[in-house]
């Protein structure tokens, strides 16, 4: 069963949705909005579902010339160092850098760290992808020395 709802969307957002409809060949606006809503729900459901442990990738692009931004970002990650597994830093051009930070911890804290980074002045793009961590906190090692072959 489907429910009919009425929503208000500003012209700029509707233009973006219409562009997505064209690019992905959706049959109509309703189908596109349902799909985009599902994606949004998946992206935010980890924080809603009782703050479970997660692993995540935080991808952001920033202007490395932005005043004190590198220092502020470094300080932010140092203050919450227990959440960071690894980071990759790439120079895109004269003024832009991209970083990918692999994070692990409670979904709420990971989300807060990501939000803190993404909202810094000089960060031009940011996206967090969270995945449930079902490892129970155990680190899994592959150890060929102890493998048994029949």
Annotated binding-site ranges: 78, 89, 91, 97
Rounded distance, CA 75 to CA 69, Å? 10
Q: Show binding-site residues for Ni(2+).
A: 78, 89, 91, 97
């Amino acid at each position: 069963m489907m429910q009919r709802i009425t929503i208000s969307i500003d012209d700029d957002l509707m233009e973006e949705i219409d562009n997505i409809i064209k690019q992905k060949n959706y049959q109509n606006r309703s189908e596109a909005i349902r799909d985009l809503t599902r994606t949004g729900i998946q992206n935010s459901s980890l924080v809603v579902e009782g703050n479970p442990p997660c692993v995540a990738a935080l991808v952001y692009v920033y202007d490395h010339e932005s005043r004190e931004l590198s220092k502020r970002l470094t300080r932010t990650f140092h203050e919450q160092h227990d959440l960071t597994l690894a980071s990759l830093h790439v120079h895109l051009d004269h003024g832009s850098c991209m970083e990918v930070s692999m994070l692990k911890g409670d979904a709420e804290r990971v989300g807060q760290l990501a939000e803190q980074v993404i909202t810094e002045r000089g960060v031009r793009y940011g996206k967090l992808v969270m995945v449930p961590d079902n490892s129970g906190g155990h680190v899994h090692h592959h150890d060929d020395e102890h493998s048994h072959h029949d």
